[in-house]
């Protein structure tokens, strides 16, 4: 395949003649570089590209969601509620776990590989022509390209609503070109400090960049310092701010498989959330509050949240032993997972499979999770940024209370090591969304071991 890379440009020559297939489009996107490491903040490039594509992002209503943790779950619940109300709905999230098609969902279903390829070719060819004319300084980044693809796919499908998750930050994120009907900020915490700032206030200011004049904003329960920044930003932007705790929770019942509770502001709602973990109660409240602000009827709110599915977040992928895949990849996410492990431990022996990227807060994540495990398997996702399991072992020795520590090189070796687990044990796979994706792919290829 003839690739060229010159003048900041990566592409294929004579693209239409190549009879591209879906794997080719994925290979090209990956060749653009890691979407975090190659991020180039600024909206000029994505705006120019979308303008050339006919501004597809302006052809549907948008709920725009930023935050550090809980964005994906909250987006999935909002989209499910809007869909339950009978409105054609799309969902744009990142990152993906197994296939990039997961990022672009229409009507609750991942875009097909054929449709993914179609929008990729249109976006890529448009970008290459713009680079050749000097209308773009370089080919759009991985995330910019996929963002444009998502918006184009939604416009082609003539969806009425799209729920759009911010990729990184908010103010200069490529998704921040939409004209939202509602903006939402889930809990703000530490993550990606190298790009967003080293304080909660700085990170909150970046997230608050999605607020728009005259557009209502909804904030989840926040750290006080983040709340102050968000509320001040709403005033500056001329956006009416709402807080999720305006919707009062009562009758809360939690169990290892979800929660149920009542919500009330100006009308009652009975919420049944099937997503595991105590933190999902707040995510469900935020989603219900967002849907309420969109004037979705109570039945649709309740039915949408009741039937939501969100993979890779405390998702049980096997039984006997129960194996859970969780995308916790920062201290806040690991603290939430630790809370679930403690609350549901009982007499079970706990196994932890852990792998993480080098640029994460490894010590803090390890101190939260490792002491809760009876057995620890350390591994590394198949990513260049992954920390070697031998380095993780040093952290484990400092914080774990004498569990057995084993090292596995690659996920197949992880599964061979897990053959030592007993049927009543529980296994948690965490530390990286990349690791979660590898686990999901492995279990998809071994469907007889999957759980419903």
If you average pLDDT over residues 332-346, what whole number do you get?
A: 89
69-83, 126-140, 346-360: least confidently modelled range: 346-360
Residue 102 to residue 189: CA distance in whole angstroms: 25
> How far apart, in whole angstroms, are the C-alpha atoms of residue 359 and residue 343?
29
Judge whether residue 305 has pLDDT over 70.
Answer: yes
pLDDT in tens, 3-29: 333 333 334 333 444 578 999 999 999
> Residue 347 pLDDT > 80, yes or no?
no
125 half-sphere exposure, CB direction, 13 A CA radius: 12
Domains of the chain: 3-243 (3.40.1190.10), 315-449 (3.90.190.20)
Residue 15 pLDDT: 44
CB atoms within 10 A of CB 450: 14
Edge-to-edge strand ranges of the sheet holding 104-106:
109-110, 104-106, 89-92, 161-165, 61-66, 182-185, 217-219, 241-243
The phi, psi pair for 39, rounded to 5°, reads -60, 135
pLDDT more than 90, % of the chain: 77
The Cα angle at residue 83 between residues 309 and 280, in degrees rounded to 5: 35
Among 14-18, 277-281, 289-293, name the most confident range: 289-293
Q: In whole angstroms, what is the distance from residue 368 CA to residue 399 CA?
A: 9
**Is the preceding peptide bond at 290 cis, omega within 30 degrees of 0?**
no
Q: What is the pLDDT of residue 39?
A: 57
pLDDT of residue 194: 59
pLDDT at 38 over 80: no
What CA–CA distance (Å, rounded) separates 431 from 352?
A: 10
> What does the alpha-carbon distance between residue 189 and residue 253 come to, in Å, rounded to a whole number?
26
Show contacts of 101-108: CB within 8 Å, 24+ apart: 102/311, 103/146, 103/150, 104/146, 104/149, 104/150, 104/153, 104/154, 105/79, 106/153, 106/154, 106/157, 106/159, 107/83, 108/79, 108/80, 108/83
**If pLDDT is split at 50, 70 and 90, which confidence band does 400 have?**
low
Identify any residues that bridge with 324 across adjacent strands, giving them in sequence order: 316, 428
Contact 64, 266 (CB under 8 A): no
Instruction: Render pLDDT for 98-151 as a digit per residue (tens, 0 to 9).
Output: 999 999 999 999 999 999 999 999 999 999 999 999 999 999 999 999 999 999
Q: Is the pLDDT of residue 394 over 90?
A: no
Which whole number is the average pLDDT over 186-192?
83
Strand ranges for 230-273 from DSSP E: 241-243, 248-255, 258-264, 268-273
Does the pTM exceed 0.75?
yes
pLDDT in tens, 411-424: 999 999 999 999 99
**DSSP characters for 276-333?**
-STHHHHHHHHHHHHHHHTT--HHHHHHHHHT---TTSSEEEETTTEEEE----SHHH
Residue 14: is it exposed, middle or buried by C-beta count within 10 angstroms (0-12/13-18/19+)?
Answer: exposed
Q: In whole numbers, what is the pLDDT of the chain averaged over residues?
A: 90
């Amino acid at each position: 395949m003839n690739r060229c890379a010159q003048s900041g440009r990566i592409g294929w020559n004579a693209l239409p003649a190549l009879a591209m297939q879906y794997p080719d489009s994925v290979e090209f996107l990956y060749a653009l570089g890691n979407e975090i490491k190659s991020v180039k903040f600024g909206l000029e490039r994505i705006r120019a590209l979308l303008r050339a594509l006919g501004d597809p992002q302006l052809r549907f209503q948008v709920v725009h969601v930023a935050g550090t943790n809980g964005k994906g779950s909250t987006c999935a619940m909002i989209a499910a509620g809007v869909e339950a109300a009978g409105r054609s709905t799309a969902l744009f999230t990142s990152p993906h776990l197994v296939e990039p098609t997961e990022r672009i969902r229409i009507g609750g279903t991942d875009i097909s590989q054929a449709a993914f390829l179609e929008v990729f070719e249109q976006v890529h060819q448009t970008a290459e022509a713009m680079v050749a004319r000097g209308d773009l300084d370089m080919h759009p980044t991985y995330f910019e390209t996929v963002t444009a693809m998502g918006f184009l796919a939604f416009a082609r499908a003539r969806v009425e609503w799209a729920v759009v998750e911010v990729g990184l930050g908010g103010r200069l994120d490529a998704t921040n070109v939409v004209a939202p009907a509602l903006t939402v900020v889930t809990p703000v915490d530490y993550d990606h400090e190298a790009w967003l700032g080293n304080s909660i206030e700085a990170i909150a200011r970046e997230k608050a960049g999605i607020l728009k004049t005259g557009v209502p904003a909804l904030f989840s329960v926040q750290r006080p310092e983040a709340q102050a920044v968000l509320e001040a930003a709403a005033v500056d932007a001329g956006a009416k701010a709402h807080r999720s705790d305006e919707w009062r929770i009562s009758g809360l019942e939690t169990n290892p498989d979800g929660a149920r509770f009542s919500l009330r502001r100006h009308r009652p709602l009975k919420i049944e959330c099937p997503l595991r973990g105590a933190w999902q109660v707040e995510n469900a409240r935020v989603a219900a509050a967002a849907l309420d602000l969109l004037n979705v009827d109570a039945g649709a709110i309740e039915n949408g949240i009741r039937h939501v599915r969100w993979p890779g977040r405390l998702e049980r992928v096997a039984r006997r032993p129960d194996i859970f895949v969780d995308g916790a990849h920062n201290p806040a996410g690991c603290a939430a997972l630790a809370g679930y492990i403690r609350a549901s431990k009982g007499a079970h022996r706990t196994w932890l499979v852990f792998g993480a990227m080098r640029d994460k807060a490894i010590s803090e994540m390890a101190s939260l999770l490792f002491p809760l495990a009876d057995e620890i398997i350390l591994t590394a996702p198949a990513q260049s940024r992954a920390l070697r399991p031998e380095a993780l072992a040093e952290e484990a020795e400092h914080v774990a209370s004498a569990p057995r520590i084993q090292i596995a090189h690659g996920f197949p070796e992880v599964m061979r090591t897990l053959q030592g687990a007993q049927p009543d044990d529980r296994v948690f796979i965490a530390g990286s969304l990349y690791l979660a994706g590898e686990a999901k792919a492995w279990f998809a290829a071994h469907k007889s071991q999957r759980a419903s």
